[in-house]
Amino acid sequence: MDGDRFDAWTRSFHPRRTVVRALAAMGVGLGLPRGVAALPGQCLVPGEACDPANRLDCCSQVCAKHKHKHRCAPAGAPYGCAKQDGFCRSGENRQCPDVPESRRLAFCANDNKGEPICVITADCHPCKRDADCANAFGSPLARCIKTCASCNGAPAKSVCVTPLTAEDLP
């Protein structure tokens, strides 16, 4: 059946919006069986719909409720960092206090909401969204911090960071 005939056939049943919703609910067009959250070996990036019972499907392993829907949350935890410790604010790379000695290269930053996170990499890079950093650095966990005083002399005033995760700890 060609695409035009399929479209005409589906329109004969219900308005377009109803059919599209029904097909999406069944996983048609996505190539996924109904109820499957992520393809094997892949994880859901921040912002994608998730099932709280399967939070490990999220790259960050955090499935949080946002605007009445569950979505994968960005990675990052403070590991003892305080708001004033962020390198973009202080200009210094302060080590994350609650990190074992073996990972003492992790340092404090602040996300775009000003909340402290512990990061293991930072690179001044033009970004507006987390996805810009994920694409540039090949990590679905990469985060964009839109304004960073430490990057003022660099070509970009924003910075891409990779948050420390539980998998990074021994």
The pLDDT profile of the chain, 170 residues, written as one tens digit per residue, is 555 554 554 454 444 334 434 434 444 444 433 343 455 568 888 888 999 898 888 888 888 887 889 998 888 888 899 988 888 887 888 899 988 877 668 899 998 888 899 999 999 999 999 889 988 888 888 999 998 888 877 778 899 999 988 777 77
pTM over 0.85: no
Q: How far is 62 from 95, CA to CA, in rounded Å?
A: 24
HSE value, Cβ hemisphere, 13 Å, CA-based, for 46: 19
Q: Is the dihedral of CA 148, 152, 154, 157 positive or negative?
A: positive
